[in-house]
Structure 1
Amino acid sequence: GATPEIIEELDESLAYFAEIIKRDLNKDIKDIPGAGAAGGLGASLMAFLNAELRPGIEIMIEIVKLEQAIKDADLVITGEGKIDSQTIYGKAPIGVAKIAKKYNVPVIAVAAIIGDDADVVHQYGINTLISVTGTPMRLDESLPNKVSLIKNSIKQSMMAIKTGKELKKN
């Protein structure tokens, strides 16, 4: 919740920090994607510990051997708290969808909130967006019911698929 003034001050401070790193350690961290996230933590790890930055979703995909699971799947269901235009910048559903797209596996993404600008995710392999909440609901109302809300949204998705298969028969 930083104000625009505080954000400007933070950006200036991080830029100054990057200048010092370049001058003293001969490492240019200023324009490395992800290096400024979390207040420059990534940049610090790279500068002082020679760390390598990788998107978290890439690491998780390797750990759980997701590609092997997806390549023979008929359908992938993934989820996120909120899906909007920011989702394309490294969030899990896009990482999952990229693999599924490679194997021509359709993807349903389930979310508590679907932003007005969420359609952009279709370009990255997400075929369908499903909202967990069928009606407007406050967070304190949805959290205690999250399991039943998710189950219901998945059930409705499966019913839609079943309907689609029946249409093919006729």
Structure 2
Amino acid sequence: MKRFVLAPDSFKESLTAQQACDAMQRGILRVFPDAQCIQVPMADGGEGTVDALIAALAGQRVECEVKGPLAGQRINTYWGLVDSGKTAVIEMAKANGIDLLTPEQRNPLKTSTFGTGEMIVQALDLGVTKIILGLGGSVTNDGGASMAEALGAKFLDVQGNPVHACGGSLNRIQSVDLSGLDVRLKQTEVMIASDVNNPLCGPNGASYVFGPQKGADAEMVKLLDQNLSHFADIVETGIGASYQHMAGAGAAGGLGFGLLAFTGASIRSGVELVIEQYHLAEKMAQADYVLTGEGKIDFQTQLGKTPYGVAQLAKHLNKPVIAFAGLLGEGFEALYDLGFSQMIGINPSGCTLQDALDNAERNLEESVVLFSLLLKDQK
């Protein structure tokens, strides 16, 4: 009997991690009916992190209404409560994520992280002593300023008037008033679970690397980067500490920076955190094969994405790891030197993006069937 560990992330805009697990399992069982499949729906700080940790730690949802990415937008969403109510798990994408806006609505000059701050306040109201914040999948580029506003911070212009923060207004901020910042943060451990290690600014920073997927053109990217740099300088002068060059400060449009600066957060790899909570090493040790995947695998995968974290663990345990992706993008070949045994694109040649999104579940299952048939023929 063959044993498979199924540890994919979500396939953005098409499959949740759980749906990906189910499709993989169906594909395997069509070829190996007696196979044992251990499902471990993964996340790396991005979409699915709350659900993954609730499942791993037998937690519960906390339903809520918060401000969405755009002014005047209110959304119904949820965060997680685990560890007998002592720890909150918050996924910023649930409040201010890219999937909450249509492509036409996305404008990182206007979007904000205020709703994420509201969820932090709700967690503090319930008396948690630890908050885990997943930062992937954002549609924002405000450096976490709006999140800080929700927690009581004020940002002032040259005349001392309040500036309501968003990506396009950070350049107007000339001073920071933290006298109203929620004092409960000082007694609360805040841990960032990040899927990237980018600094805040520059060619590898939040605006240049991730701005275009959030709706920014080349001119807007340049402006957003300048605004973040200005904002970071003002904040760091005000608090007497520097965070903008730290790995992960650029996560979620600079929300990583804001959390480091305003909440005293620590930061770690989101996928490593989920791997640890799931005891994935113990599950993987009994496996013959490990399957992982997500919507796109390319050179950025090695910067902290789920498939890379899974592959590193599999390599350590000397287990073959096969990654499935909707798209094998630029530079994916380099990943073969980093623990991946095989990488498989699931979409038929010539299919449109919409077809790929609509048929992801079927395409993933059929790709796993083909892999399993090849595996069967090898024996």
Q: Same fold (TM over 0.5)?
A: yes
Q: Which moved more, 1:54-63 or 1:152-161?
A: 54-63
Map 1:31-110; keep pairs closer than 5 Å: 31-110=245-324
Shift of 1:116: 4.6
Instruction: Spell out, residue by residue over 1:148-170, the C-alpha distance to the aligned partner (whole angstroms, 9 max, x if none).
Output: 211111111111122223xxxxx
Task: Find the residue that maps to 1:53 and give its secondary structure.
Answer: strand
AA aligned opposite 2:313: I
Q: Does 1:135 align with 2:349?
A: yes
Shift of 1:93: 0.2
Q: Does 1:2 align with 2:216?
A: yes
Task: Find the residue that maps to 2:343 and give its secondary structure.
Answer: strand
Task: Find the residue that maps to 2:220 and give its secondary structure.
Answer: helix
Q: How far apart, CA to CA, are the structure 2 residues paired with 1:42 and 1:86?
A: 18
Q: How far apart, CA to CA, are the structure 1 residues paired with 2:304 and 2:350?
A: 27
Q: How far apart, CA to CA, are the structure 1 residues paired with 2:221 and 2:357?
A: 31
Task: Find the residue that maps to 2:271 and give its secondary structure.
Answer: helix
Q: How far apart, CA to CA, are the structure 1 residues paired with 2:374 and 2:261?
A: 51
Task: Find the residue that maps to 2:323 and give its secondary structure.
Answer: strand
Task: Find the residue that maps to 2:292 and give its secondary structure.
Answer: strand
1:148 to 332, 341, 362: 362
Per residue, is there more strand in 1 or in 2? 2
Q: Could you say if the C-alpha distance between residues 7 and 67 of structure 1 is closer, same or farther in structure 2, counting changes exceeding 3 Å?
A: same
Task: Find the residue that maps to 1:82 and give its secondary structure.
Answer: strand
Shift of 1:11: 1.4
Aligned length: 165
Shift of 1:142: 2.8
Q: How far apart, CA to CA, are the structure 2 residues paired with 1:39 and 1:134?
A: 33
Per residue, is there more helix in 1 or in 2? 1
Q: How far apart, CA to CA, are the structure 2 residues paired with 1:146 and 1:30?
A: 38
The residue that corresponds to 2:46 in the other structure is: none
AA aligned opposite 2:314: A
AA aligned opposite 1:129: M
Task: Find the residue that maps to 1:133 and give its secondary structure.
Answer: coil
The residue that corresponds to 1:168 in the other structure is: none
CA-atom RMSD in angstroms: 1.5
Shift of 1:106: 0.5
**Partners of 2:326 and 2:360 within 8 A in 1:** no
Q: Does 1:25 align with 2:223?
A: no
AA aligned opposite 1:131: G
Mind listing any 5+ residue stretches in structure 1 that lack a counterpart? 166-170
Q: How far apart, CA to CA, are the structure 2 residues paired with 1:93 and 1:74?
A: 17
Task: Find the residue that maps to 1:134 and give its secondary structure.
Answer: coil
Q: TM-score, normalised by structure 1?
A: 0.89
Task: Find the residue that maps to 1:34 and give its secondary structure.
Answer: coil
Shift of 1:29: 0.7
The residue that corresponds to 1:113 in the other structure is: 327
The residue that corresponds to 2:49 in the other structure is: none
Q: TM-score, normalised by structure 2?
A: 0.42
Shift of 1:61: 1.1
Between the two structures, name the one with larger relative contact order (CA 8 Å, sep ≥ 6): 2
Q: Percent identity?
A: 38
The residue that corresponds to 2:374 in the other structure is: 160
Mind listing any 5+ residue stretches in structure 2 that lack a counterpart? 1-214
Task: Find the residue that maps to 2:266 and give its secondary structure.
Answer: coil
AA aligned opposite 2:256: G
1:124 to 334, 338, 352: 338
